[in-house]
Amino acid sequence: MVVTMFLLGLLYVVFVGALIAVGVRALTVLVLAGGLLLVQYFLSDRIALFAMHGREVSPQEAPELHGLIDRLCALADMPKPRVAIADSDVPNAFATGRNQKNAVVCVTTGILRRLEPQELEGVLAHELSHVAHRDVAVMTVASFLGIVAGLMTRFALYSGLAGRRNGGQGGVPVGVIILLVSAVVYAVSFLLTRALSRYRELAADRAGALLTQRPSALASALTKVTGDMARIPTRDLREAEPFNAFYFAPALSGRQSIANLFATHPPLERRLEQLANISKQLGRG
């Protein structure tokens, strides 16, 4: 993860240097991208809950769910996040919020119906580890470069720069240079950000398994949730797919394709293998 973040930072430096070299004043784009970053950073919890139709629930409304989270927070010695439930048959869960004080953990009604208490505890431990590691903040900062590059590409396409010649001397159009550099940077940053996301998911699996001391329960939850995805209507899965980066397990419709090479989550086999190794280390089956 450190290497990936270093490469993202290096890519940002190269990108800015290339823009300066061609004499582009990208202040407007940078300000716009910075504004989007701040909105995403400070309002991520509200945006995610609104987009996924989640609502906060009190201990009186969901005593068992609150009880599991209370126990895990005590074990992890961390503040209790807000608790929410999303009315969706897609079995999943997610955590969002820029820090522990502003975090929210949300589960769907589908996962509550399908998992046993120990399995649900493993899922919640996984999500709480995202909160403890401030993964939302990490991924928001990591995605900043991709946002800038994407905006620069649109800026080059729609501002008319592509028709202007550099210095009026018949050289390479400035807009073409911006377009090419931005496209390359966006592609590389996209791959690096997805790789970072997969590392964070593996780290959350490990931390969740160690917190509960029941890696087999988390493995069982992963297997059950992933298997039940095939029984969910395709329409519901497609509605959930845009939020896969948040989810405990990705909601995928149809067969696996080349696009899965750029997935936000590691393959199920890789996650189960890690949990099996943790089970051996803990001396548990």
Q: Over its length of 285 residues, how does the chain's per-residue pLDDT go in tens digits?
A: 556 556 666 666 566 666 555 555 556 556 666 676 677 677 777 877 887 888 999 999 999 999 999 999 999 999 999 999 999 888 999 998 878 888 999 999 999 999 999 999 999 999 999 999 988 778 777 776 666 666 666 665 655 554 544 444 555 566 676 667 767 777 777 788 888 889 999 999 999 999 999 999 999 999 999 887 767 666 666 676 666 666 788 776 544 544 555 778 898 899 999 999 999 998 854
Confirm if 49 and 55 have CB atoms less than 8 A apart.
Answer: yes
The CA angle 81-39-45, to the nearest 5 degrees, is 20
Residue 15 CB-density burial (10 A; 0-12 exposed, 13-18 middle, 19+ buried): buried
* Pairing state between β 82-86 and 104-108: parallel
Residue given tokens 């450190």 in the structure block: 2
For the chain, percent of residues with pLDDT exceeding 70: 63
Q: Which position among 119, 121, 127, 201 bears the catalytic label? A: 127
Confirm if 83 and 65 have CB atoms less than 8 A apart.
Answer: yes
Instruction: Report the alpha-carbon distance of residue 12 to residue 145 in Å, rounded.
Output: 6
What confidence score (pLDDT) does residue 80 get?
95
The model carries a pTM of 0.78
Instruction: Report the alpha-carbon distance of residue 60 to residue 183 in Å, rounded.
Output: 51
The verdict on whether 127 is a catalytic residue reads: yes
Instruction: Report the alpha-carbon distance of residue 49 to residue 152 in Å, rounded.
Output: 30
Instruction: Report the alpha-carbon distance of residue 252 to residue 242 in Å, rounded.
Output: 10
Confirm if 249 and 225 have CB atoms less than 8 A apart.
Answer: yes
HSE-up of 185 (CA within 13 Å, CB side)? 30
